Structure 1
Amino acid sequence: MPLSNRTRRKALLLTLATTAVTATLTAPVQAAPAARPAAPALTWKPCPSPAGATECATLSVPMDYRDPGGQRVDLAVSRLRGADSPARRGTLLAIPGGPGGSGVARLAAKGAELRKQTAGAYDLVAFDPRGVGGSTPADCGVSEDDRELTHLRPWPGPDGDITANVARARRVAAACQTNGGAMLRNISTANEVRDIESLRRALGEEKLSAWATSYGTYVAATYAQKYPHRTDRLVLDSNGDPDPERVARGWSANMSVGTDDRFPDFAAWAADPARDRAHRLAERPEDVRPMFLKLAAELDAAPRKFSDPAHFPLTGNRLRQALQQTLYSKNAFEPLAELILAARDTAGPLTVRDVLPGGPISGRETAVMVGTICNDVSWPHDLRTYARAVTADRARHPLTAGMPAGVMPCAFWKTAPADKPVRITPRGPSNILMIQNLRDPATPHHGALKMREAFGDRARLVTVDSGGHGAYLANGNTCGDRTVTDFLTTGRRPTGDVVCPKE
């Protein structure tokens, strides 16, 4: 599945030939939850913009669940109805990545294919998390310059200096504290999980199935931990390490390893003798990495301008960021190769397209991303910790130049997390199927192994011998797609963890 620029912004065994499968186990008996007020009904209407057969509704939820009678938040919800057949299963929730991804947009993009794969067995439902898309918006009032991607992400100076990162992180944190208000204080994974439970009740479903991607896998895992008796069939696609001591700080740090895991795929593509001259970067795959590092260092010293003044200059860090995003999907390899060749072999303004979008990311996306990662877990406040981590990470992983270990606005966050991060455990129904690319640049395979270990026998892991971010209906592996589809439609999972061979 080719990923949009916005999606790309927002990170390791047996062959599955004749693997036996077994039906998913049922949930153990749980005590009935305490009585709560009736869930608000959903009024479904045609969506305001063309989106196939999708219906839309608005769900009102408490801004602060500790004050259920207080201020409310509206969540934009969408639905693609399933088929009216004996095979009808229930509702499957599409949980987006991010933080800051739109569930409504993801369902619009993938709903028709998912409905086809599952033969209409589910009503497919999604929602925009609070602060995002059509839901009640969040905004910190962060300046456009600080919302530019290579500024918001803590790319250090050419020599590893983090002074500019520290100043920017301090500004963003101060803006969120001043302008974010109660909305920003109540953006977190814990509240997204509570919103999912409110949505389940509004839908009138006893249980929910889900297809969660990227950051959404942590949301789904947390929901499965908090509400195990409310889960049916869960697919977790492109998983991060759920370590409750680190959470997003760990996901960011892991991108260094993920980029190293994935880069050889790009190098092999870029040195393929069959590649045309407009895209071939080197004679041998092992020559691509030093060439890229040399070019990035040259752009650190002397950035290149584009002929289109709307584009930011091509700096070393913008080239590194372009690489990190390009590795999400093989479909992006060609434009990156064109950019590298133009920057390396031409003079004057660059006339090729920029791989990165020219403008800043939105205020909503910025607020939700920063709010979630800073409200979920406490980050270190000692700036020397970040300086040491950046120095070490630059030495081990020069492709990412220390950015994944850099200082974020969370280092200056004034409020402690309202909820303790959830620890994922083996307690609960065995109804989870994880799927993971072996060479994922954003959520590397070793992090998925940590999630698998945390779940124990509740989960099975399907490792796909492929690269890119997103496995199911994404990077083209028939074995992986078939295994997930079979689970969603029949409930059967592999009896153990499996590997889908390279195709």
Structure 2
Amino acid sequence: MTQKPIKRNASLVAATAVLLGLAVPMTASAAGAEALEWTTCEGTGLDPRQQCATVDVPMDYSDPDGRKIQIAVSRIPSEKPSARRGALLLIPGGPGGSSLQKPSGRGQKLPQQVRDAYDLIGFAPRGMAPSSAVDCGLDSKDLALAGLPWPSPDGSVTESMAAARRMSEACARNGGELLRHISTANEARDLDRVRAALGETKVSAWGVSYGTYVAAVHSRLFPHRTDRIVLDSNDNPDPTRVGRGWLAAFETGVEDNFPEFAKWASEPGNPYRVARRAADVRPLFLRLAERLDREPLPRPGANPAELNGNALRQTMLTNLYDPDDYPTLAKTILAAREGTVPPAPQMPPESLMRNALAVGAGTLCNDVAWPRSAAHYQKGVDESRAKFPLTAGMPRGAMLCAAWPFAPKEPAVRITDRGPSNILLVQNERDVATPLAGARELRRALGDRAVMVTVNSTGHNAYLANGNACGDRTVSRFLATGKRPGSDLYCD
């Protein structure tokens, strides 16, 4: 996007599970023309108050009168109409995530004062079912390891470059015209159409992970249509790299977080203790990954069907998102040392994974052009493996964007300090997916538009998740009252 790597900006199978069982049967009128026609959402596990509709938006904003696509939206209305301020967009991570169920889920963790002040609005971004959807028709093997470009055991990028070509050719063959119009800028434009369809002059937003970049772009393109904006677990907005930079951020993200796992995994009395000293956990992990590179363990029913070195590294990456998931990583390490493997994690249906991966690919590859030279990626992987051995070069590897058949239709949006000062960033100090260093770049780009709360905590997603009480209070107060700290704040 908690946001696991299958819910994260650079990991392209993000948030597919949130789509399970939810349909949006009602077609609404054109954005901004009439009020939406809300209906009860289909599906299980939803708050009975949650309602659903669709908004028609242009597929190509350079041809606004051309073909239309649909954006599925959901809402739970303000719980106290007399206190209602407006609408709060719940902007998901990914790319390839959806917030369609979030009004019934994470939105219900919001304090009562916030739920009174806002209609909670979820949506499935363009390309994500049940919005008008895309699918590249990828093979099962290309859905493995969260779609990340793990190099071969010897560090070669030959196989990942071949996979990039194979996957990009499938997207060109099967993705359809909509795939070419999936981008962060278009998602931001869609959100402004949703705002108009809701009948709101301005909207507030809570963007998480990749959603922070969407919200920042929306605030750049439509600054005077924004009210109170919370950016939670923040991406570096560098317009020359965008998704390439987010992928590379895993290098420092893992280094920031692995020591916390090592301390936990060496505590006396821990039933999943893997070493007697924290200093021993890292070399133990590296030796085990190298052994599995040479001698993978069979893992029937999994994809891939073996626990190799990269599968262990992917397990590490996944479970560093949330300290509550440390036991899963520890159990995998303990089992693999004994030559066995725990059961494979349950994955969403492949159709949902293919949909999410296609949306993620469209976004990452259409936002900015990626280098196409294998030599470029090999050089980066070699440097990364030497400096950051835990991630084995993956963060500088060749995603399918290295062979993407389409050129970006417009430059990536440059985030600036122009616009109202109505943005609050909240950021954990140790975040594997969106490291503090990248959040500081977004803070710098926003200038006087923003205040940043840095939280002394570990894990991805700060507000109402892996942060702390000080950070939560600060964000809740801003959403409810508009009051921000007078300057950047550190929450110990």
Aligned ranges 1:122-161 → 2 under 5 Å: 122-149=118-145, 152-161=147-156
Aligned ranges 1:353-392 → 2 under 5 Å: 353-355=343-345, 357=347, 362-392=353-383
What's the CA shift for 1:211?
Answer: 0.2
Give the 3 Å change call, closer, same or farther, for CA 355–407 of structure 1 in structure 2: same
Question: What is the rounded CA distance, in whole Å, between the counterparts of 1:382 and 1:309 in structure 2?
Answer: 32
- Cα deviation, 1:447-473, whole Å, max 9, x if unaligned, reads 000000000011011001111110001
1:456 is the counterpart of 2:447 = yes
Question: What is the rounded CA distance, in whole Å, between the counterparts of 1:436 and 1:456 in structure 2?
Answer: 16
Give the 3 Å change call, closer, same or farther, for CA 253–99 of structure 1 in structure 2: same
1:321 is the counterpart of 2:322 = no
Aligned to 1:27: none
Q: RCO (CA 8 Å, sep 6+): is it higher in 1 or 2?
A: 1
Aligned to 1:21: none
What's the CA shift for 1:413?
Answer: 1.9
Identity value in percent: 50
- Unpaired segments of 5 or more residues in structure 2? 12-29
| DSSP 3-state at the match of 1:281 | coil
- Of 74, 88, 94 in structure 2, the residue corresponding to residue 92 of structure 1 is 88
Aligned to 1:17: none
Question: What is the rounded CA distance, in whole Å, between the counterparts of 1:465 and 1:74 in structure 2?
Answer: 41
Tell me how many residue pairs correspond in the alignment: 471
Aligned Cα RMSD in Å?
2.0
Contact kept? 1:311, 1:354, Cα under 8 Å: no
> 1:96 is matched by which residue type in structure 2?
P
Contact kept? 1:115, 1:121, Cα under 8 Å: no
- Of 400, 404, 422 in structure 1, the residue corresponding to residue 395 of structure 2 is 404
Aligned to 1:39: 33
Q: Which segment is superposed worse, 310-319 or 60-69? A: 310-319
- Cα deviation, 1:353-407, whole Å, max 9, x if unaligned, reads 3357497561111110111000000111222111100000111111100001001
Contact kept? 2:89, 2:203, Cα under 8 Å: yes
Aligned to 2:19: none
1:173 is the counterpart of 2:164 = no
- Of 194, 197, 221 in structure 1, the residue corresponding to residue 192 of structure 2 is 197
1:469 is the counterpart of 2:465 = no
> 1:289 is matched by which residue type in structure 2?
R
Q: Which segment is superposed worse, 209-218 or 98-107? A: 98-107
Contact kept? 1:335, 1:353, Cα under 8 Å: no
> 2:40 is matched by which residue type in structure 1?
P
Contact kept? 2:236, 2:442, Cα under 8 Å: yes
Contact kept? 1:96, 1:102, Cα under 8 Å: yes
Give the 3 Å change call, closer, same or farther, for CA 40–153 of structure 1 in structure 2: farther
Aligned to 1:485: 476
What's the CA shift for 1:248?
Answer: 0.5
> 2:386 is matched by which residue type in structure 1?
A
1:209 is the counterpart of 2:190 = no
Aligned to 2:282: 289
Contact kept? 2:133, 2:355, Cα under 8 Å: yes
Aligned to 1:256: 251
Q: Which segment is superposed worse, 259-268 or 307-316? A: 307-316
Q: Which segment is superposed worse, 112-121 or 212-221? A: 112-121
Give the 3 Å change call, closer, same or farther, for CA 38–199 of structure 1 in structure 2: closer
Question: What is the rounded CA distance, in whole Å, between the counterparts of 1:149 and 1:40 in structure 2?
Answer: 44
Q: TM-score, normalised by structure 2?
A: 0.92
- Cα deviation, 1:27-71, whole Å, max 9, x if unaligned, reads xxxxxxxxx995353110111124102111111111111222222
What's the CA shift for 1:103?
Answer: 1.3
What's the CA shift for 1:290?
Answer: 0.4
